[in-house]
A and B are shown apart, each in its own frame.
Chain A
């Protein structure tokens, strides 16, 4: 650990560098004009959902829409189609979601090692919220979301978004909602991982899950 010397030296250099700043100016005195938009366009709830689905798909996520009654059947089908046998379900994931799936369900307790996670076929989670304008899912440490490694090491991630209360339109709205959660790590996911490092050819799926499936879950059958 370095002593206070470099700290004081750097802070001293900063202060000497800023002799043009009036001594009595406080950090918040310089206004920042925030006349940019809170959202890009007015949308009804169902238009926001459509935009979310469209943007998710644009970045190669597979999107499904379902009502609460049909969720467990859908998850069972998607896992079966994938041939998944070992599936991680983080703490707090509603038990009924995977009730129909013919798979071995691993909880993360006791904590799975990275190598054990590497042997897992799929992970099923909820999310903190989803952003329509950018097609982004945000996962935090909340119930059903799990620690970060769970949605990183397996090759197949199924993420359920509760459309009634988890969809926002824009990045500013998302950050506002996430502020209280910021003490825990957050992961923003917009499509599966990708690289354009080889002659700018886009290749989907490098290190994270190469398949991302998003399930937009409606509580009320009439809204679908």
Chain B
């Protein structure tokens, strides 16, 4: 789809259709004091814990390099590894399906569920299924998908959207959660107990009881996966609450929808990622539960297993030599927790299931620069670089942001649904305004700039042909000053008065 479309993302993310571009959504969030306080508390707490968990390992930097190298090596021959994965899963009794886009994935899953004759499914939190809007597609087909992760349950019962990868209901406090449970549980199944208080342990107990009846009778489970091992056909799901184990173990049929970039070549590669992920994500030495399964197993778990391999913009992302590093992402959410812009803007402003720095580089690439929302996302950053520092697979998020800004401003070659296309520079009246406002929003919140100098003092590789800033800096007349002649912040302070 070309950029002069309707402003609606070309595929998937049904729940997010019609989201305003970043700055407008961010403004709303900034005015919500409670949301900001919750987010701030959450991100700062997890951030500090993560730093301690990472400091326990002397070889963190080497693990991180290995993690990046394994992912890069996989991506360079992704076709080969996907074919091997397909063979191994099939050999182990699973069935592999390929979905080029969200609509196809939703159709495949809907047909598979229909074929079982069931009208309800239990579901483990999965970014990929949120990305394609699977729950909505199933609902249209008359199939109810029950979210079973506690936070996702809160989001679902509250008819809400997730705001953080790891703790999607972080924008809700305990009183709100109690109210949601009290008012809404009954219409989804077992009601909340009488006299439910807002103690977290009691709320968790209410969720346990509410969901247990669903687990025990469920015939179909839906999941994503954190990793798929091409060599053995093994899928891996990392979780905390045990709802994942329930969904992966008790139903007769299991359907997993997984992005093609989740492939790792060998069993041994897990030794890197099972060290990187828990410490980066929940800041634990190891998360409470990790499930690994290979096709189907006699007498243990589902008798039928379907794997749906999802493209939905991933191959387009792969075609971009700078941007493809976003496909290394293991969805740990560490970059969210250190991001000054995310902390102020909140997760919803990013208009997709992928908030924060990773969302700012992934969403525009998966969907293409299809609307003012995607065009504004690369500007939802002060380029402070904190995300890159904590990223366990060393994704240079600032580099990709700068690269995408150039695309927005100058146009150039991109791949959209597998076809190489040259896009024109963003239309001034829509994209520029959105981008300008995103950038200005960022700079109008000085805390968001805390470390704004960082970018220009970094490697020359990162130096864009033009300044990544807004306004006149986009025009052909202004060349980039020599690094590090002037920090970005100083540049902004100096130029803003005259030009903005």
Contacts and interface: CB of A to CB of B under 8 A. Distances in A.
Contacts of B232: 182-183
A42 interface: no
B228 to A, nearest CB: 13
Interface in A146-191: 147-149, 152-153, 171-172, 175-176, 179, 182-191
Interface stretch (B135-143, B204-212, B369-377, B431-439): B204-212
B426 interface: no
A126 interface: no
A184 B301 CA distance: 11
Interface string B318-361: 11010010000000000000000000000000000000000000
Nearest to B96: A7
Contacts of B408: none
A182 B315 contact: no
A152 B42 CA distance: 30
Nearest to A140: B292
Nearest to B310: A10
A114 interface: yes
Contacts of A200: 41-42, 45-46, 167, 170
Contacts of A184: 294, 297, 300
Contacts of A192: 288
A136 B203 CA distance: 27
Nearest to A149: B249
A171 B275 contact: yes
A186 B235 CA distance: 10
Given A14-B79, A148-B245, A206-B204, A34 B300 contact: no
A190 B285 contact: yes
Interface in A167-224: 171-172, 175-176, 179, 182-201, 203, 205-208
A14 B315 contact: yes
Contact of B204 (A20, A26, A205): A205
Contacts of A64: none
B268 A18 contact: no
B270 to A, nearest CB: 6
Contacts of B316: 13, 17
Nearest to B177: A198
Given A152-B249, A171-B271, A206-B150, A17 B289 contact: no
Nearest to B309: A10
A34 B77 CA distance: 20
Contact of A199 (B59, B92, B173, B249): B173
Given A114-B216, A141-B297, A182-B292, A199 B200 contact: yes
B203 A183 contact: no
Given A37-B59, A40-B57, A12 B418 contact: yes
A55 B272 CA distance: 20
B288 A199 contact: no
Nearest to A30: B73
Given A6-B99, A17-B315, A207-B211, A114 B151 contact: no
Given A184-B300, A189-B289, A199-B200, A27 B72 contact: no
Given A141-B297, A193-B241, A206-B208, A32 B69 contact: yes
B14 interface: no
A187 B245 contact: yes
B415 interface: yes
B191 interface: no
A77 interface: no
Interface residues of A, number: 75
Nearest to A31: B69
A182 to B, nearest CB: 5
B19 interface: no
B20 interface: no
A114 B83 CA distance: 36
B70 A32 contact: yes
B318 A2 contact: no
A206 B177 CA distance: 16
Interface string B196-240: 000011011001100110011100000000000100101000001
B157 interface: no
A10 B167 contact: no
Contact of A148 (B249, B265, B274): B249
Contacts of B41: 199-200
B476 to A, nearest CB: 28
Interface string A33-65: 111110010000000000000010001000000
Given A36-B59, A197-B149, 20 more contacts: A2-B104, A9-B98, A14-B318, A16-B418, A20-B321, A27-B80, A30-B69, A35-B59, A35-B66, A36-B275, A37-B62, A114-B215, A114-B217, A148-B248, A153-B216, A175-B271, A183-B92, A193-B289, A195-B240, A206-B241
11 contacts: A10-B309, A11-B83, A13-B316, A15-B79, A17-B315, A27-B80, A30-B73, A182-B234, A185-B292, A192-B288, A200-B170
Interface of B: 38, 41-42, 45-46, 56-59, 62-63, 65-66, 69-70, 72-73, 76-83, 92, 95, 97-100, 104, 108, 148-151, 154, 167-170, 173-174, 177, 200-201, 203-204, 207-208, 211-212, 215-217, 229, 232, 234, 240-243, 245-246, 248-250, 260, 265, 267-268, 270-272, 274-275, 282, 284-294, 297, 299-301, 309, 311, 315-316, 318-319, 321, 324, 415, 418, 420
Interface of A: 1-2, 6-7, 9-18, 20-21, 25-27, 30-37, 40, 55, 59, 111, 114-115, 118, 131, 133-136, 141, 147-149, 152-153, 171-172, 175-176, 179, 182-201, 203, 205-208
